[in-house]
Amino acid sequence: MKLLLLEDELLLKESIEEFLLAKNYDVDSFENSDDAYDAIFTTAYDLLLLDVNVPGEWDGFALRKALADEGMDIPTIFVTSMSSADAMLQGYAQGCCDYIKKPFDLIELMLRVQQALKTNCFKSKEHVICLPENYRYDLKSLTLSCDAETITLTKRENDLLNLFIKHRNQVVNFEMLYDLIWDNDVDPANVRVQINKLRRKLPKDLIKNVYGLGYRFDCQ
């Protein structure tokens, strides 16, 4: 998952960035809102961590509003020393998903980041499906990726993955596969071969056999 951190306290910025990198998050950090704003328009971020009192054209609240006005509803956590009830209300009014008051423990930050990503994954980009192990599938571009690397799929593999995602956590029976993917003209052995090829390009155990019925795509 790719995060943007806006924090003008250098030591704190470095501490947060190093901690999150060690937890396998991809982090871009900035000290002023102008640079952060520019980066957001050129990079697809999964979550923003914004301090409020920062240098630049916008404070953290105003930056979140400016992005929303541009139609960019990116999940956001405010990380700030502004601890009053009015400040918190202002933060949530701007559409943040969490508000962390300084000082805080880095473990707490990580837990809140995890929760925000889990809660907002499907909301923030409905056409981008988040899968385990940092895999993502874009239903618009039909692109499977892991971190920054694109994984090539054949047309058949794309058709299968689309079907599994649309019926995730449900049994996709053999009849559905034969009818929707192969128009009923297929050797069952070929179906197994194609599904096994797709499995090798996905996180382990994502596609499970359901004995005698078909397959289930386990994705929360």
Please, which residues bridge with residue 151 across strands? 144
Same domain for 117 and 141, yes or no, is no
pLDDT above 90 (res 130): no
pLDDT-derived band at 124, boundaries 50, 70, 90: very low
Tens of pLDDT along 41-71?
A: 878 788 999 999 999 999 999 999 998 887 7
Number of domains composing the chain: 2
Same domain for 121 and 157, yes or no, is no
Same domain for 155 and 108, yes or no, is no
**pLDDT reported for residue 1:** 79
**pLDDT reported for residue 147:** 79
Q: Is the dihedral of CA 15, 21, 24, 26 positive or negative?
A: positive
pTM over 0.75: no
Same domain for 14 and 114, yes or no, is yes
136 vs 183: which has the higher pLDDT: 136
Q: Nearest Cα to 58, choosing from 85, 78, 75, 83?
A: 78
Q: Nearest Cα to 31, choosing from 14, 12, 11, 6?
A: 6
Tens of pLDDT along 17-43?
A: 999 999 989 999 999 999 999 988 878
DSSP 122: H
Query: Which domain range does residue 196 map to?
Result: 132-217
- Any idea what the Cα angle at residue 158 is, between residues 152 and 162, rounded to 5°? 135
DSSP 46: S
Which CATH number belongs to the domain containing residue 71 in this structure?
Answer: 3.40.50.2300
User: What's the average model confidence in pLDDT over 80-87?
Assistant: 91
**pLDDT reported for residue 121:** 53
pLDDT above 60 (res 149): yes
Q: Nearest Cα to 67, choosing from 48, 87, 51?
A: 48
The size of the chain, in residues, is 220
Same domain for 82 and 161, yes or no, is no
- Assess contact for 79 and 65: CB atoms under 8 A: no
User: What's the average model confidence in pLDDT over 131-154?
Assistant: 85
Same domain for 105 and 154, yes or no, is no
**pLDDT reported for residue 125:** 54
Average pLDDT, rounded, for the chain: 89
User: What's the average model confidence in pLDDT over 125-138?
Assistant: 79
User: What's the average model confidence in pLDDT over 173-201?
Assistant: 89
Same domain for 141 and 76, yes or no, is no
pLDDT above 70 (res 120): no
